[in-house]
């Protein structure tokens, strides 16, 4: 039986036990441990198997070999002068980073080919975890360094995850607080032709905000899955929020549809989070025509804007509430704190940008609220299409302006 078959046949809470048996049989592994990233992205935490205790314990994500493997997303084979070697393998599925698989092998079996093969095992484990997570609390419990608030639990169950990747793009998100809730809304959906994104400022802290956010994201998903366009999605969500709260709880949101083949972007800006673009090494805020937040009034009419992404563009969405300016900061532009937080993040990878910006914003006294969500999109664009397509014929409507 292959490792993949063993994982598919294992009970959800016994994935690691089943994996250990298979790795012992096929690779002569003496141990295997799974380290999962915690909700705050600060530490890697060992899953405790049912049959045998974990050998590798918890450790910070910014130090150690396991942390380096997680950060770089590159497998690492550690050898010493002893009879064993240790393989560290990233567990990642479609851009979503779950953790690191640590496998101890006999030194004579620790070859580059074995490491490559174990990398495929780690990927299969990631897919199995996504399915098993629906049927057991083991992995979510492992990821907690402390208890979540009820609002935090609701937000984690509502948001789609921290990352998504495809041939044309990389998408990574980070938000704080991680163990309570800022009421932020984030969602995405990918098809063969389109990437749809929703980013929204939080409606405030605590359970009321989490309830409003859950209502909003499910209204958007309902409209999207029914085939409604962006205007229809915004309108249905606006009606759902207004019908429930009568304008007392609104959501400043940005809805986007990106055509994967061309980079054309359709946008509905409902009092949105700020949007920043880096192109050719130059970063600037993208000014959009803001409309009313969702849920403010009954039957608000929304319209779309049309923009374009170019290969190599980086777009950062920042959802946070401006707070009281610090002493001496009265003359600073309203988006000054965000600009200052973004500046040092330019050289970072797409995966590292959101966390760095969130930390920088939360360290600024009274500049922004404690609740921050940052989403980073790196746009590569699709490969050129075959000759003879509509794009090559040069027909159709004029291209929209480049993003920004």
- Tens of pLDDT, residue by residue over 10-67, are 999 999 999 999 999 999 999 999 999 999 999 999 998 766 666 766 889 999 999 9
pLDDT score recorded for residue 402: 55
pLDDT over 90, % of the chain: 77
Q: Can you tell me the distance from the alpha carbon of 26 to that of 121, in angstroms, rounded to the nearest whole number?
A: 12
pLDDT score recorded for residue 194: 97
Checking if the pLDDT of 329 tops 50, the result is no
> Stretch 285-301: mean pLDDT, rounded?
94
pLDDT score recorded for residue 362: 87
Q: Report the mean per-residue pLDDT for the chain.
A: 89
pLDDT score recorded for residue 382: 82
Higher-pLDDT residue of 56, 238? 238
Of 70, 71, 41, nearest in space to 358 by CA: 41
Checking if the pLDDT of 400 tops 60, the result is no
- How does DSSP assign 328-347, residue by residue? T-TTS-TTHHHHHHHGGGTT
Locate tokens 């802290």: which residue?
Answer: 205
Higher-pLDDT residue of 1, 240? 240
| pLDDT tens profile 334-385 | 678 889 999 999 999 999 999 999 999 988 875 556 789 999 999 999 866 5
> Stretch 219-230: mean pLDDT, rounded?
97
List the domains of the chain with CATH numbers. Answer: 3-141 (3.30.450.40), 150-393 (3.60.40.10)
pLDDT score recorded for residue 389: 42
- CB 285, CB 278: distance < 8 Å: no
> Stretch 282-290: mean pLDDT, rounded?
93
- Taking residue 170's Cβ as centre, other Cβ atoms within 10 Å add up to 18
Cross-strand bridge partners of residue 256: 197, 267
- CB 179, CB 149: distance < 8 Å: yes
Checking if the pLDDT of 257 tops 50, the result is yes
pLDDT score recorded for residue 394: 40
Cis bond upstream, residue 177 (ω within 30): yes
Of 262, 266, 265, nearest in space to 389 by CA: 262
Q: Can you tell me the distance from the alpha carbon of 321 to that of 328, in angstroms, rounded to the nearest whole number?
A: 20
pTM, two decimal places: 0.89
């Amino acid at each position: 039986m292959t490792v993949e078959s063993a994982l598919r046949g294992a009970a959800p809470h016994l994935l690691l036990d089943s994996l250990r048996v298979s790795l012992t049989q096929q690779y002569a592994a003496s141990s295997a441990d799974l380290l999962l990233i915690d909700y705050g992205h600060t530490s890697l935490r060992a899953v405790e198997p049912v049959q045998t205790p974990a050998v590798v314990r918890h450790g910070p994500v910014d130090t150690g070999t396991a942390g380096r493997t997680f950060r770089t997303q590159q497998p690492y084979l550690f050898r010493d002068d002893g009879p064993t070697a240790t393989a560290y393998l990233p567990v990642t599925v479609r851009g979503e980073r779950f953790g690191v698989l640590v496998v101890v092998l006999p030194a004579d079996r620790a070859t580059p080919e074995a490491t490559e093969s174990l990398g495929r095992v780690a990927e299969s484990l990631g897919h199995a975890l996504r399915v098993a997570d629906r049927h057991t609390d083991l992995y979510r419990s492992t990821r907690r360094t402390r208890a979540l608030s009820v609002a935090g639990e609701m937000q984690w169950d509502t948001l789609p995850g921290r990352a998504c990747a495809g041939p044309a793009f990389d998408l990574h998100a980070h938000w704080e607080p991680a163990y309570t809730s800022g009421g932020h809304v984030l969602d995405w959906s990918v098809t063969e032709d389109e990437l749809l994104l929703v980013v929204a400022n939080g409606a405030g802290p605590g359970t009321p905000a989490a309830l409003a956010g859950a209502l909003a994201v499910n209204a958007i998903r309902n409209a999207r899955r029914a085939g409604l366009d962006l205007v229809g999605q915004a309108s249905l969500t606006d009606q759902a929020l207004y019908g429930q709260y009568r304008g007392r709880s609104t959501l400043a949101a940005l809805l986007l549809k990106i055509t994967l083949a061309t980079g054309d972007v359709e946008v509905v800006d409902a009092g949105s989070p700020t949007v920043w673009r880096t192109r050719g090494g130059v970063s600037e805020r993208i000014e959009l025509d803001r409309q009313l937040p969702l849920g403010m009034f009954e039957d608000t009419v929304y319209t779309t804007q049309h923009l374009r992404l170019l290969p190599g563009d980086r777009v950062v969405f920042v959802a946070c509430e401006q707070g009281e300016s610090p002493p001496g900061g009265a003359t600073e532009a309203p988006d000054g704190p965000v600009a200052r937080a973004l500046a040092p993040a330019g050289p970072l990878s797409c995966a590292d940008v959101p966390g760095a910006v969130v930390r920088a914003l939360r360290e600024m006294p009274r500049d922004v609220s404690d609740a921050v969500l940052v989403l980073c999109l790196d746009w590569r664009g699709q490969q050129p299409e075959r000759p003879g397509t509509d794009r090559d014929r040069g027909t159709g409507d004029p291209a929209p302006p480049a993003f920004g």
